[in-house]
Structure 1
Amino acid sequence: MKILAKISSFAGNTFAIWVILVGVISFFYPAGFQWIAPHVGILLGIIMFGMGLTLTPQDFKAILKTPKSVLVAVMVQYTIMPLLAYLLVTIFRLSPEIAVGIILVGCCPGGTASNIITFLAKGNTALSISITTVSTLLAPILTPTLTLLLASEWMAVSFIEMFLSIVQVVLIPIILGFIVRRVLQDQVEKSIDVLPLISVIGIVAVAGAVISVNTEEIATSGLFIFAVVILHNLLGLLFGFLIARLCKFNVTDQKAISIEVGMQNSALASQLALKFFVATPIAAVPGALFGVWHNISGPILATFWSKYHEKNKG
């Protein structure tokens, strides 16, 4: 178990490298990853189950201790990111399938990697976990609602079907994970260090699958989509930080909120796109590229903030 824990820690610390590496390999050797595409929903369910295993009653008590910061962060998450997505696809006049993909990314909850990035950035990790938990639990309602409002002018969006899908691959696995931890607490505690490895494998596999089934589209318009994705992420990080600062939260909270707002659950966006826009699989590409990029921008920002923290501390 100790060896697996070390491998898991290494995988978590080098997350960005694996995402980029698998992304490149899947682009040049798509046949090796295309078989994963039909199973993206199962992979996401496993990732969410792992998230549920990490949750404890103390995490929910932490939400009650800092309700204002959690509320502000979740509100910003579900307003700024969707609106930024809508503005970007409108300004750049993107094709319907790409526009829907970017809006899906904006309407999803925060990504689980944000907790690790917040920790590395010397931010408020407990707050980060609270925000991720609340935004993820609200996803079955808010993600399909916002997608319907913002993306229906490009493609038909079914609220009920998307709601049920998110419940199946997000909410139920999280609840099951939480219950399993409560029932088998000692056994789960012994294996908790291995969970980052499972998350890394799952997210990397999802990214590889999406890229592998869209190699031709990525070759023709991938760079442009990537540019929009980068802009979306950077603006999310910036607005999250500025709004937290305007609310006069302390520096560690500002870091956590910025990272939570800017880093999305891109695997969920890709899974929803693959399931609900089957005729246009390129709709899943923005999610995959967002997953690649925010695992680059996140560690860079974390390194900067960590060094800044140490400098000012000294």
Structure 2
Amino acid sequence: MKFLASLSGLVGRTFAYWVVLFAVLGFILPDIFKQIVPYIVPLLAIIMFGMGLTIKGQDFVEVLRRPVEVGIGVVSQFLIMPLLAVALTTIIPMSPEVAAGVILVGCCPGGTSSNVMAYLSKGDIALSVACTSVTTLLAPFVTPFLVYLLASQYLPVDAMAMFISIIKMVLAPLALGYALQKVMPKAVAAAVPALPLVSVIGIVLIVSAVVAVSKGAIASSGLMIFAVVVLHNGCGYLLGYFASRAFGLSLAKRKAISIEVGMQNSGLGAALANAHFSPVAAVPSAIFSVWHNISGALIANYYAGKTDEEEPARLGTRSA
């Protein structure tokens, strides 16, 4: 078990490299990785089940202890990223499928990778975890509504079907994992160190499958989609930082909210796009999954060297 835990930790720390590697393999060997497509939803459910195994009651106590700070993070997540997506799809010409996919990933909750990046950035980890937990629990209600409101101009959106899908893919596995903690605490505690390995395997397989089935679209529009994803992600970090700064939050909290806003649950985006739109609509989520793990590590490293006395250059010239 120690070997498995060590391997899991190593794979978790090198997550971005594995995502890039399997994205490339999916593009080079599409016939192999296309076979994973029918398993995208179960893979995401397994990832969310793992998240359920790690959720603690303390995460929700944190929400009650400081509801304003968590509220700033949650509202920023569900306001900034969807509106940024709409702005980008308006400014940059793209197909309806890609536009819907960009908006969909923008309407997803925060990704669990943000918690790791918050830790690496020396940010407020408890705030990051609380925001991720709350946005994930709200996703079945908020994500379909926002997608219907913002993406219906591009593709037909069945909000109720999307709601049911998120319940199946997110809430049910989360609840099952959380319940298992209570029923078998020792077994769960023993299994937790291996969870990063399970999550990485799930995400890289989802990304490789989406890339494989959308090879043609990536070959023709990949650079444009990549540029949109980089802008979406980068502006999310910036606006998340400025939003939390506007409310007078400390630097540690700004770091956490900045990263929380910029990093999306792109696995959920890919699964929903593939199930409700088209494989092409899942491409922005797949590319987002690759890029935000790279950019997240970079910005976490940048933030880690900053203190309240030395704010990040160009992210704010003077401490608020």
Tell me the TM-score normalized by structure 2.
0.95
Q: 1:285 aligns with which of 283, 286, 300?
A: 283
The code of the aligned residue for 2:303 comes to W
Report the alpha carbon displacement of residue 191 of structure 1 after superposing the two structures with TM. 1.8
Report the alpha carbon displacement of residue 305 of structure 1 after superposing the two structures with TM. 1.4
Q: Which residue of 1 aligns with 2:60?
A: 60
Matches within 5 A, 1:1-314: 1-277=1-277, 280-309=278-307
CA contact (8 A) 1:122 1:309 kept: no
Unaligned runs of 5+ in 1: none
Unaligned runs of 5+ in 2: 311-320
CA contact (8 A) 1:127 1:253 kept: yes
Tell me the TM-score normalized by structure 1.
0.97
Equivalenced residues, count: 310
The code of the aligned residue for 1:230 comes to V
CA contact (8 A) 2:250 2:308 kept: no
The code of the aligned residue for 2:65 comes to K
Inter-partner Cα distance in structure 2 for 1:126 and 1:289: 28
**1:151 and 1:13, CA in 2 relative to 1: closer, same or farther beyond 3 A?**
same
Percent identity, please. Answer: 50
**Further displaced range: 95-104 or 60-69:** 60-69
Inter-partner Cα distance in structure 2 for 1:236 and 1:154: 23
Q: Deviations over 1:146-204 (max 9, x none)?
A: 00000001111001100000000001100111000111111111221111111111111
CA contact (8 A) 2:269 2:285 kept: yes
Compute the RMSD of aligned alpha carbons. Answer: 1.2
Report the alpha carbon displacement of residue 25 of structure 1 after superposing the two structures with TM. 1.2
CA contact (8 A) 1:274 1:283 kept: yes
Inter-partner Cα distance in structure 1 for 2:126 and 2:198: 21
Report the alpha carbon displacement of residue 93 of structure 1 after superposing the two structures with TM. 2.5
Report the alpha carbon displacement of residue 309 of structure 1 after superposing the two structures with TM. 4.8
Inter-partner Cα distance in structure 1 for 2:71 and 2:97: 32
Inter-partner Cα distance in structure 1 for 2:252 and 2:41: 34
Report the alpha carbon displacement of residue 307 of structure 1 after superposing the two structures with TM. 2.8
CA contact (8 A) 2:108 2:269 kept: yes
Inter-partner Cα distance in structure 2 for 1:251 and 1:309: 7
